Structure 1
Amino acid sequence: MRKLACLFGLGMLFLLAQTAAAQDTPKVDAFLGYSYVRANPATSGAPNFNLHGGSASLAYNVSNSLGLVADFGGYHVNKIGGFPVDSAVYTYLFGPRLSYRRSESKITPYAQILFGGTHLGRGALQAGSDNTFAMTVGGGLDANPTRHIGLRLGQVEYLMTRFKEAAPNRQTQNNLRFSTGIVFRW
């Protein structure tokens, strides 16, 4: 317990030191871009498939290194394993982001963990829709050519969803999500 308290105290000192140096840190980062999801169904023998779409996120930077993120994405698939489908997946995720910002650097690496939900909307051939838990763990790199506009060079995340599948007791999908686009800061 003592070790945990010491680690917590050191972490807080690190965040406070980063806050003191945060005068050049923008308060808000807004991202808009393209997203790709490589879906991996839990059902044995079901093929992996690709979804393409877009995502947007808003991060409020509490300090130089800590931000609070709201992330929204929409993805579409029209064929799985050669069979035509018309489905859309939407994600809505929230959580903390840790960034490593240095005033002299034009690159900002970050890591984040987000929790929330996902919605599966099925087209005319399938019946109904589904809402379930989702989470991501990952990170990325932002290039900062100017103070107010940046480029998200890449954001790579493990995306876990919990849709019920045809096979009994199979409901965890281990997916990969990649995003890239423009970051606006103010």
Structure 2
Amino acid sequence: MKLRFIVSLLALVTVFGLATQAQELPKIDASVSYSYLRANPATSGVGGFNLNGGSASASYNFRDWLGGVADFGGYHVGSANGVNVDNHVTTYLFGPRFTYRNSRRITPFAHVLLGTARTGAGIFATSRSHTEFATAFGAGVDWNVRDRFSIRPLQFDYLLTHFPEVTNGNNQTQNNLRVSTGIVFHFK
């Protein structure tokens, strides 16, 4: 009887130990994404234009629902509104990420990021490059394919920038949209 109890207890501890190990929270999530950026100048009469590029981010998970993220992106435009500009925008953003980990397959998240954006001369800027304050409010979803690998089918970000614009040279607020898709690696 005593041996049966000990064997049962060991089996129970082993099963719960494996289940706990399978649900272990990754400490770092690293992603690489393709990004589409729809730039919307604030100056009336100037239409929005498209930039294509990529972004990389790393998130350190403090809790199962809270992490700190660093997001770096680079986007290129060849022509804007029929004008050849061949230029770029880069972003350097940091902030908290809130994650809902209730499903083994789907992991939605939201974040608030603050940092800077840099543009070359000729996009928003007057005649030279500018580095200005930027903010991103966004959300997305990860599809967990394996324990250490996910696909990020969709991430949306409202990217707020404050570049000077060509018409008046003063800083204006640009309301931009960033849509990304990519892959995520989980490190425990």
- Superposition TM-score tier, normalisation by shorter sequence: 0.7 to 0.9
In structure 2, what is the equivalent of residue 94 of structure 1?
94
Equivalents in 2 of 1:170, 1:135: separation in Å? 15
Structure 1 contact 56–73 (Cα < 8 Å) conserved: yes
In structure 2, what is the equivalent of residue 61 of structure 1?
61
2:47 alignment partner, SS class: coil
In structure 1, what is the equivalent of residue 173 of structure 2?
172
1:171 alignment partner, SS class: coil
Equivalent positions of 1:42-61 (< 5 A) are 42-61=42-61
> Offset at 1:105?
2.5
Equivalents in 1 of 2:111, 2:64: separation in Å? 15
Matched, 1:122 2:121: yes
Equivalent positions of 1:15-94 (< 5 A) are 24-94=24-94
Equivalents in 1 of 2:46, 2:73: separation in Å? 24
Q: Identity, % of aligned pairs? A: 53
Structure 1 contact 162–171 (Cα < 8 Å) conserved: yes
Equivalent positions of 1:136-151 (< 5 A) are 136-151=136-151
Structure 1 contact 58–69 (Cα < 8 Å) conserved: yes
| 164-173 vs 75-84, greater mean Cα deviation | 164-173
1:75 alignment partner, SS class: strand
> Offset at 1:176?
0.3
1:164 alignment partner, SS class: coil
Equivalents in 2 of 1:91, 1:108: separation in Å? 25
Deviations 1:4-23 (A, max 9, x none): xxxxxxxxxxxxxxxxxxx6
Structure 1 contact 43–170 (Cα < 8 Å) conserved: no
Look at both structures and tell me which one has the larger radius of gyration over its CA atoms. Answer: 2
Equivalents in 2 of 1:154, 1:74: separation in Å? 18
In structure 2, what is the equivalent of residue 153 of structure 1?
153
TM, length-normalised to structure 2: 0.82
> Offset at 1:24?
1.5
Equivalents in 2 of 1:43, 1:170: separation in Å? 10
Provide structure 1 residue ranges, at least 5 long, that are not aligned to the other structure.
1-22
Cα separation, partners in 2 of 1:81 and 1:40, compared to 1, 3 Å = same
Deviations 1:121-157 (A, max 9, x none): 237xx84211000010010000001010100111001
Cα separation, partners in 2 of 1:80 and 1:175, compared to 1, 3 Å = same
In structure 2, what is the equivalent of residue 14 of structure 1?
none
Structure 1 contact 51–75 (Cα < 8 Å) conserved: yes
Deviations 1:107-126 (A, max 9, x none): 00001000000111237xx8
TM, length-normalised to structure 1: 0.83
Equivalents in 2 of 1:153, 1:86: separation in Å? 29
State the number of aligned residues. 162
Q: Which amino acid aligns with 2:86?
A: D
